[in-house]
């Protein structure tokens, strides 16, 4: 099957590489000629590095490159069985692109969007045949990140998720299924990693170095929240937070912070601009986050952030955003968490999680700290998320 990709930026070019490596011919389209040239140059560079590292043969690289077509017209999508859109995150532009696309492809073609935050239902609604539209959310960099969230819209043909599930397996990916809700699985459940860390900083209960240290040394996370936000970019991270918050009717748990807003205002976007929470400019002292610290304080910081993540995961299960296994796999494969959050809850004990949430709620009387009904009912019944497994 021929695969079409719209948008040859970071995501589109990565998805094209994955599909071509899996043996498909790929038609990669962009309105910006420079983006197409950049995509081709970067792909050649990446593939040749894989040869240098002995992970691919020269012949494989030649074949993958030959399976790529870089085009400046959507007419080239005529033969595609699946087209994946990965353009700018703007609903009106995406809807208009889907309308044009539908007038070109065959009636059988599947149309997918890689949107991170927009409603799949509203993109599908722009089409004459909305039942063929679905969300297919890859993670950055697409060739390295195993997770793909499959998001059927209200209108999507019920058979389509399993077709794409099989296809993603054949691309070497780990597909999970999410309901069409803001942030899907990963971008929703990960919010407290950033927002609770910023709260702790704002309250003066820990410095950014201490919070990063706590999450890495006690939590086992690869990067601390402040390092990670600097890496992602505050413009991107703030936009996702604000979008999930707004789309969830101003749910207090997802409320963005002034601290991050001011970094965006100042243009301190993180690594890419040389400054964020930390200073990356030439001559600045290196970021030091794993030094020794007040172990009791670090433990409290770690417990507060992780229990908020657990609560978020439990709530996602409660509201059927995804299955237990998909929620846990999504967080380990999509954002490299050291273990699934629901499994983590079992390890701590559900009653402990409930008590920690209740303590936060009683302290702040802020609805963002309300304990998920899922944790409450499991605690009441003395149950666990994984009742048949040894902890």
Ligand X SMILES: NC(=O)c1ccc[n+]([C@@H]2O[C@H](COP(=O)([O-])OP(=O)(O)OC[C@H]3O[C@@H](n4cnc5c(N)ncnc54)[C@H](O)[C@@H]3O)[C@@H](O)[C@H]2O)c1
Q: Which is nearer to ligand X, 66 or 99 (CB)?
A: 99
In the complex, minimum distance from the CB of residue 343 to ligand X, in angstroms, rounded to a whole number:
25
Q: Which of the residues 74 through 93 are near ligand X (CB under 6 A)?
A: 86-89, 93
* Residue 9 within binding range of ligand X, rule CB under 6 A: yes
3-state secondary structure of 87: coil
Q: Which of the residues 135 through 174 are near ligand X (CB under 6 A)?
A: 138-140
Q: Which is nearer to ligand X, 12 or 130 (CB)?
A: 12
3-state secondary structure of 275: strand
In 3D, which of 173, 193, 170 has the Cα closest to residue 183? Answer: 193
* Residue 10 within binding range of ligand X, rule CB under 6 A: yes
| d(C-alpha 245, C-alpha 248), whole Å | 5
Active-site entry in 68, 85, 117, 149: 149
Tell me, by CB under 6 A, how many residues bind ligand X: 23
Q: Is 149 a catalytic residue?
A: yes
In the complex, minimum distance from the CB of residue 373 to ligand X, in angstroms, rounded to a whole number:
30
3-state secondary structure of 3: strand
* Residue 235 within binding range of ligand X, rule CB under 6 A: no
Q: Is 137 a catalytic residue?
A: yes
Q: Is 363 a catalytic residue?
A: no
Tokens of 388: 């048949």
- Listed ranges 10-18, 51-59, 245-253, 354-362: which one lies at the site for ligand X (CB under 6 A): 10-18
* Residue 186 within binding range of ligand X, rule CB under 6 A: no
Q: Which is nearer to ligand X, 235 or 325 (CB)?
A: 235
Tokens of 316: 């996602």
Q: Which of the residues 193 through 232 are near ligand X (CB under 6 A)?
A: none
Q: Which is nearer to ligand X, 136 or 353 (CB)?
A: 136
In the complex, minimum distance from the CB of residue 10 to ligand X, in angstroms, rounded to a whole number:
4
Sheet holding 68-71, edge to edge: 68-71, 26-29, 3-6, 82-85, 110-113, 133-138, 147-152, 174-177
Q: Is 108 a catalytic residue?
A: no
* Residue 248 within binding range of ligand X, rule CB under 6 A: no
In the complex, minimum distance from the CB of residue 205 to ligand X, in angstroms, rounded to a whole number:
30
Q: Report the length, in residues, of the chain.
A: 391
Q: Mark residues 288-327: x for contact with ligand X by CB under 6 A, - for none.
A: ----------------------------------------
Q: Helix H segments across the chain?
A: 10-21, 33-52, 58-66, 91-102, 120-124, 160-170, 186-189, 191-202, 208-213, 225-232, 234-247, 258-266, 295-318, 324-334, 341-348, 350-364, 373-381
Contact 302, 215 (CB under 8 A): yes
Tokens of 378: 């499991």
| d(C-alpha 80, C-alpha 22), whole Å | 16
Q: Which residues bind ligand X (CB under 6 A)?
A: 6-12, 30-32, 35, 86-89, 93, 97, 114-116, 138-140
Which residues are part of the catalytic machinery?
A: 116, 137, 149, 187
């Amino acid at each position: 099957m021929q695969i079409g990709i719209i948008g040859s930026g970071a995501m589109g070019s990565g998805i094209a590489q994955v599909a071509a490596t899996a043996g498909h011919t790929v038609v990669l389209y962009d309105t910006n000629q420079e983006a197409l040239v950049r995509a081709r140059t970067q792909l050649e560079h990446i593939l040749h590095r894989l040869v240098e590292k002995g992970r691919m043969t020269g012949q494989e690289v030649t074949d993958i490159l030959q399976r790529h077509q870089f085009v400046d017209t959507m007419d080239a999508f005529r033969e595609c069985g699946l087209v994946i859109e990965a353009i700018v995150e703007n609903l009106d532009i995406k809807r208009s692109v889907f309308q044009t696309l539908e007038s070109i492809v065959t009636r059988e073609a599947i149309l997918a969007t890689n949107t991170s935050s927009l409603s799949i239902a509203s993109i599908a609604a722009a089409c004459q045949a909305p039942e063929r539209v679905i969300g297919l959310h890859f993670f950055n960099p697409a060739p390295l990140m195993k997770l793909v969230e499959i998001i059927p819209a209200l209108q999507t043909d019920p058979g389509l998720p399993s077709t794409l599930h099989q296809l993603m397996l054949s691309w070497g990916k780990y597909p999970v299924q999410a309901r069409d809700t803001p942030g899907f699985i990963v971008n929703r459940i990960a919010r407290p990693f950033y927002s609770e860390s910023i709260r702790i900083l704002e309250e003066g209960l820990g410095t950014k170095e201490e919070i990063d240290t706590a999450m890495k040394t006690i939590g086992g996370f690869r990067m601390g929240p402040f390092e990670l936000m600097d890496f992602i970019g505050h413009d991107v991270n703030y936009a996702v937070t604000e979008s999930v918050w707004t789309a969830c009717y101003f749910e207090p748990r997802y409320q963005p912070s002034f601290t991050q807003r001011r970094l965006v205002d100042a243009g301190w976007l993180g690594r890419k601009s040389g400054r964020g929470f930390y200073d990356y400019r030439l001559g600045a002292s290196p970021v030091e986050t794993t030094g020794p610290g007040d172990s009791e304080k670090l433990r409290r910081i770690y417990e507060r952030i992780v229990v908020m993540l657990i609560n978020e995961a439990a709530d996602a299960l409660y509201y059927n955003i995804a299955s237990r296994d998909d929620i846990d796999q999504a967080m380990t494969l999509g954002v490299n968490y050291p273990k699934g959050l629901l499994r983590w809850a079992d390890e701590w004990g559900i009653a402990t999680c409930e008590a920690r949430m209740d303590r936060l709620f009683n302290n702040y009387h802020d609805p963002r700290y309300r304990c998920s009904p899922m944790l409450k009912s499991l605690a009441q019944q003395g149950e666990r998320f994984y009742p048949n497994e040894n902890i």
